[in-house]
Amino acid sequence: MIAAVLAQAVEIQPLTADDTLVAQNIAFGVIAAVMLYSAFRMVTTRNVVHAALYLVIVLAGTAAQFLLAGAEFIAATQVLVYIGAIVVLFLFGIMLTRGSLGVEELERNERRGMAALVAVLLAVVTGYALIDGFENTRFEVASPSTTAQVSDSIFSQYIVPFEAASVLLLAALIGAIVIARKD
Amino acid sequence: MLLNQFLLLAAGLFAIGVYGVLARRNAVLVLMSVELILNAVNINLVAFGAFNGTVTGEVFALFVIAIAAAEVGVGLAMVLLMYRNRKSIDITQVDAMKG
């Protein structure tokens, strides 16, 4: 129900947008509706493997939205890192822990009502704040940003966070091995 | 394009991710919901970057993707450890440190 309401809210927006961007806005609306439906199915489905496949749809939709926003390199990275690596990692995690909660029992989960309340409240409050704050703010995607621009920015202005991220990845690598190791 | 259409989509995905984190009992599904939340943040970053006309938003989205990868690696290692020790990945049963 949350997804339906939100899909409606998102789909209404493109109709009021600039006429010259009709095709982009239709593409946005269709992809956004598919993403919200898949995300909703992901958190409500009983089968964990299906949840991982719904996650793939959401991630691919996100990559498509990045393309619409003119961010080519991020879209490619999204597909490579998320769909290529992280989802495979999730599938391995599901396979290695299979049988413990293969089909989750959702009926007796008393936390669902409270969680749904929190999620709906969050969506309504953020949605209201966004509509109130950014009413008809528009942006033009004149030309997609190139990989050269992104890399220039990373290796000049943001070189310190970049190095910190590489150290973080090393720490996560070692930490994951140490935690999961049999000894 | 309207800035708000991206922001509302991200807000919807974020709320659905929060529901997943709070309501699901399977630890792997909780991690997947966290990915959903991080993706919503990425959409916001890229949309604001395009709005600004700079690549700063995209650079920060890249950092978020790197951190998400690290988080999934460590998180799944912890889930595997939990499964090995308790034969269950039900996070409602992990309450040994509850006060």
pLDDT (mean) for B60-80: 93
- Please give the pLDDT value at position A5: 61
- Please give the pLDDT value at position A144: 84
Query: What digits encode the pLDDT tens for the residues A12-67?
Result: 554 444 555 688 889 999 999 999 999 999 999 888 899 999 999 999 999 999 99
Asked if residue B22 lies in contact with residue A117, where contact means CB atoms within 8 angstroms, the answer is no
What beta strand segments (E) does A39-148 contain?
none
- Please give the pLDDT value at position A54: 95
- Please give the pLDDT value at position A17: 47
pLDDT (mean) for B35-54: 93
Q: How far is CA A23 from CA A15, A18, A64, B34, B99, in A?
A: 11, 10, 14, 32, 56
State the nearest Cα–Cα gap between A140 and chain B, in angstroms. 6
Asked if residue A2 lies in contact with residue A120, where contact means CB atoms within 8 angstroms, the answer is yes
Residue A154 in tokens:
């990373």
Interface predicted TM-score (ipTM) of this complex, two decimals? 0.92
- Please give the pLDDT value at position A7: 61
State the nearest Cα–Cα gap between B92 and chain A, in angstroms. 10
Burial class (CB in 10 A: 0-12, 13-18, 19+), A107: exposed
Residue written as tokens 């959401």?
Answer: A58
Is the pLDDT confidence value at A118 over 90?
yes
- Cα-Cα-Cα-Cα torsion A163, A164, A165, A166, nearest 10 degrees, comes to 50
Is the pLDDT confidence value at A81 over 90?
yes
Contact across the interface for A10 and B24, Cβ inside 8 Å: no
- Please give the pLDDT value at position A143: 81
pTM of the model: 0.86
Q: Which of A101, A107, A159, A169 to mutate to test the interface with B (most CBs of B within 10 A)?
A: A101
By Cβ distance, the residue of A17, A74, A162 closest to B46 is: A74
Asked if residue A7 lies in contact with residue B8, where contact means CB atoms within 8 angstroms, the answer is no
Asked if residue B35 lies in contact with residue A51, where contact means CB atoms within 8 angstroms, the answer is no
Residue written as tokens 């070692």?
Answer: A174
pLDDT (mean) for A105-116: 73
Asked if residue B6 lies in contact with residue A11, where contact means CB atoms within 8 angstroms, the answer is no
- Please give the pLDDT value at position A116: 92
By Cβ distance, the residue of A2, A92, A157 closest to B16 is: A2
Residue A23 in tokens:
């095709």
Asked if residue A35 lies in contact with residue A61, where contact means CB atoms within 8 angstroms, the answer is yes
Residue B40 in tokens:
């919503």
- Please give the pLDDT value at position B85: 87
Residue A88 in tokens:
């495979």
Share of chain B above pLDDT 90, in %: 66
pLDDT (mean) for A136-154: 86
- pLDDT tier, A104 (very low <50, low <70, confident <90, very high otherwise): low
State the nearest Cα–Cα gap between B15 and chain A, in angstroms. 5
The least confident of A31-45, B29-43, B82-96 is B82-96
Is the pLDDT confidence value at B79 over 80?
yes
Is the pLDDT confidence value at B59 over 80?
yes
